[in-house]
A = this chain, B = another copy of it.
Amino acid sequence: MRRVYLDHSATTPVDPRVVEALLPFLTAKFGNPSSVHFYGQEARAAVDRARREVAGLVGARPNEIVFTSGGTEANNLAVRGHCEQAADQGRHVITTAIEHSSVRGICEALERRDWEVTRLPVYGDGVVRVEDVRAALRPDTVLVTVMLANNEVGTVQPVAEIAALVRELREAGQKHLRLHTDAVQAAAGMRVDVDELGCDLLSLSAHKLYAPKGVGALYVRRGVRLAPQNIGGHQERERRGGTESVPLIVAFGEAARLTRVELEERTRRIRSLRERFETGVESRVADIVYNGDRARRLPGVSNISFRFIEGEGLLINLDMQGVAVSTGSACSSGSLEPSPVIRALGRDDELARGSIRFSLGKDTTEEEIDYVLEVLPRAVENLRRLSPLYQKAVGSRQYALRSGS
């Protein structure tokens, strides 16, 4: 069957060059980086090389990079690691209504331990307002965590502007206030530079960058201390215990290097393919609503609500024709609730349930887009014909037409 993968926000295929880079570290170069002997030193050197590449991707110094088992662990380490560390200075966290389930989950866990959490709205465009952050900041705020780009609608948040506020307060004496940003999605689609952003902590995940699942990193600005979460061993300068996954870290390093080198060209290609896609959908399917600001958005993401039908039905119908997309966050698509992110945009239940995320990748082709443009309208139409909501709407439109004529 013809297969078209338009779910790059959920995960990406591993770049063949990345596979090639990691393979020797499964076989001949299998040492444990903590070992003193040849095998260990060889592995240690590879981890350090990868650390330099990952640091280079975000403009950090190598010793500011802590490797983790993924974006989720990076978020856990950032938010809990800092909050445990700063609990004596205050117990208030500012976040947004559209964070990834990991940040959302940790914030809920903090609330159960008597922390206060302020969740900022994102309005109809899926973008947090800097003034809202300003208004939410308090003397006992120790952490602001705002994702750099959202995983469902791709909207980019004003992190640098928020950093300016945080810096102001810190200079005014609120020394323990830190800014964390989840850049897991952003890194694949825009330039990310920790100094331009001005953040203290920044999360990355390799599997959104054409490397394998199971490795990520937390950027920890020099001087920022965290309570370690995964304890044991001296790895990662005592900030994260556990034998390093050398092959995955090497893969991450190579993927970071390729992303740095190719980012501009990738985003140019992807953006023009998305334009082809969206123009095509608009001309073929009626009653659609885009979710999230279309300008301030990652280049590869197109999130569309199809009126009258339900996302999972459309997803499965597309899947039966070989087209892979997602509805809601990949992580919660097994659950029944409509996506909290789409809800945060103020969409009603029906539109929230009818949202589909198409996410393009660096290897998406024009032909693939055209194939999707061929099968998507038919799938929507067929589901709408089954839908009582559609029948009602069509009926009342016909009625409106008749009574208006």
A positions within 8 Å CB-CB of B: 3, 5, 7, 10-14, 16, 19, 22-23, 26-28, 30-32, 34-40, 68-73, 75-76, 100-106, 109, 205, 207, 212-215, 229-235, 241-248, 312, 315-316, 318-319, 322, 324-327, 330-335
Contact = CB atoms under 8 A, between A and B. Distances in A.
A243 B213 contact: yes
A230 B72 contact: yes
Given A10-B34, A14-B26, 10 more contacts: A11-B31, A26-B212, A31-B324, A34-B330, A36-B327, A36-B333, A68-B69, A70-B242, A72-B241, A212-B245
Contacts of A212: 26, 245, 247-248
A28 B13 CA distance: 7
A326 B40 CA distance: 10
Given A19-B27, A243-B72, A232 B105 contact: yes
Which of A73, A109, A335 has most chain B Cβ within 10 Å?
A: A73
Contacts of A327: 36
Nearest to A235: B331
Of A103, A104, A214, A332, which is in contact with the most chain B CB atoms at under 10 Å from its CB?
A214
Contacts of A35: 7, 10-11, 324, 326, 330, 333
B7 A39 contact: yes
Given A102-B232, A233-B332, A245 B73 contact: no
A36 B233 contact: no
Nearest to A100: B232
A99 to B, nearest CB: 10
Nearest to A229: B229
Contact of A213 (B32, B75, B103, B105): B32
A316 B70 contact: no
B109 A231 contact: yes
Contacts of A247: 212-214
A36 B315 contact: yes
Contacts of A244: 213-214
Contacts of A215: 214, 245
Nearest to A112: B227
A234 B34 contact: no
A237 to B, nearest CB: 11
Given A243-B11, A245-B69, A230 B34 contact: no
A302 B243 CA distance: 22
Among A35, A247, A248: residue with most chain B CB under 10 A: A35
Contacts of A76: 229-232, 241
A231 B70 contact: no
Nearest to A99: B232
27 contacts: A7-B39, A11-B30, A11-B31, A12-B30, A13-B28, A14-B27, A14-B30, A19-B27, A35-B330, A36-B315, A37-B315, A37-B316, A69-B242, A70-B242, A72-B242, A73-B242, A76-B241, A101-B233, A101-B234, A101-B241, A102-B231, A106-B231, A109-B231, A205-B243, A235-B331, A243-B331, A245-B248
Contact of A36 (B16, B75, B230, B319): B319
Contacts of A232: 72, 75-76, 100-106, 331
| 9 smallest beta-carbon distances between A and B, as pairs | A214-B245, A102-B232, A69-B69, A72-B242, A233-B331, A11-B32, A105-B231, A37-B324, A37-B319
Nearest to A107: B231
A229 B228 CA distance: 12
Contact of A7 (B27, B37, B75, B213): B37
A375 B83 CA distance: 53
A326 B242 contact: no
A16 B246 CA distance: 17
A334 to B, nearest CB: 6
A314 to B, nearest CB: 11
